[in-house]
Copies of this chain bind each other. A is one copy, B any other.
Amino acid sequence: MALLSRHLTLSLQRSLRLVAPGCRYVSQTATKTVSEFEYDAPSMKTPVPGPRSKELTRQLGEIQNVGAINFFCNYEESRGNYLVDADGNRMLDLYTQISSVPLGYNHPALMKALTNPNNLSAFVNRPALGMMPPENFPEKLTESLLSIAPSGMTRVQTMACGSCSNENAFKAMFIWYKNKERGTNDPSPEETSSCMINQSPGCPDLSILSFMGAFHGRTMGCLATTHSKIIHKLDIPSFDWPIAPFPRLKYPLEEFARENAQEEARCLEEVEDLIVKWRQKGKPVAGIVVEPIQSEGGDNHASADFFIKLRGIARKHGCAFHVDEVQTGGGATGKFWAHEHWGTDNPADLVSFSKKMLTGGYYHRDELQPDKSQYPHLLSRARGQGTFCAIDARDDVTRDKLLLKIRDKGVLLGGCGEKSIRFRPALVFKEYHAHQFLNIFNDVLSQYK
């Protein structure tokens, strides 16, 4: 796969540079691979769309919007890398249903999985998974989705499609952010009553920061973070959320190292400015959502350094960091997850997926669990005036252990009384220092046995 990627990139670069206009570049390295169930080459019988596709488009036009139809397919006859259309044209498919077919068409292993009676019973009986899951659900999740969980993520929430995966990841970030603000307190009566009529404080003015050119789906929450095509957005009410520029790198990278580093720095600076601006507006950024490679927006890449710094900005400002791998996940970039190219153990707080995974959902770090009551077994009696704050631990042993663990992560705190932890920051302590502390505190609490 790395070979393919390298060959493809080099070939494309070479053809762009060396081939005179009008010349047709023919790859010297193309080799014929025929697996037992695949075809051996394209075979074209008509222009595309052919007459049968055109007639079917006319028929479907009576029932549905057909503005985006390319042609009709014969999925039974399609095999491996070859898609067969309704006119019998066989095409080498390098687009795979917008990157959604993991192992080619009609792969025998997938056909087998789908006809397995145990799996069939889940399809036909439509279990309400949140209430009455099938007996083998924990085991199946552990064997499948959790066995390939991104680094640092121990939990997964399944969903039926990419949009629902991102919508629910957004909701998890909002809930996490508000829980963090609330600490150990219950929601106030004002919050519980106002939320039922869509008003704050129950439905708070929080935002998600996204990037120009991003595509995260087309339901209304996702759509507020999607900025790739006018036709997706026009006429649909939206949220006033911040939108940062995504780096526009120049290629080949080795010739533009300095310009590209400047471009990425400019975008990161803008991200930080927007976070501050939206906080001042009263619409704090609860989370940042980003694709490891902007796909719908034009296959825009950025360096590992960019993403690692972006993740750092999220932590500094107390925003959750959501990596949308709906299109990139599942092996297509040469790693199972595209973010693995960043080479960091702690790439994100949430990673969403769908398409080639043939299901949908999001992985998340432990503290992003939506209904998590924030450590009431460990902490109580949060109190304070100004910066002069305290919280009680369960007992003196817990308090002392927490203090040590927190110090090991780089934060100094004091104890007081029998089992209290006291906070005495300097008067130059800013909101982002509070987020720094809270992120570390959360890490320690979530690992505390």
Contacts and interface: CB of A to CB of B under 8 A. Distances in A.
A348 B141 CA distance: 42
Interface string A200-237: 00111111000010000011110010010011011111
A126 B358 contact: yes
A57 to B, nearest CB: 9
Nearest to A134: B75
6 contacts: A73-B133, A75-B135, A76-B121, A105-B125, A168-B219, A220-B221
Among A114, A195, A207, residue most surrounded by chain B Cβ atoms (within 10 Å): A195
A161 B164 CA distance: 9
A367 B227 CA distance: 27
Contacts of A63: 138, 141-142, 146, 154-156
A429 B69 CA distance: 43
A223 to B, nearest CB: 8
Contact of A164 (B60, B154, B164, B236): B164
Interface residues of A, number: 110
When all copies of this chain in the complex are counted, the total is 2
A78 B224 CA distance: 42
Given A63-B142, A203-B235, 8 more contacts: A67-B371, A68-B131, A100-B128, A101-B126, A174-B236, A191-B234, A219-B219, A220-B221
A367 to B, nearest CB: 13
Given A106-B124, A371-B67, A60 B236 contact: no
A135 B230 contact: no
A446 interface: no
A216 to B, nearest CB: 12
Contact of A72 (B101, B134, B235, B371): B134
Contacts of A73: 127, 132-135
A135 B198 contact: no
Contact of A56 (B135, B204, B212, B370): B135
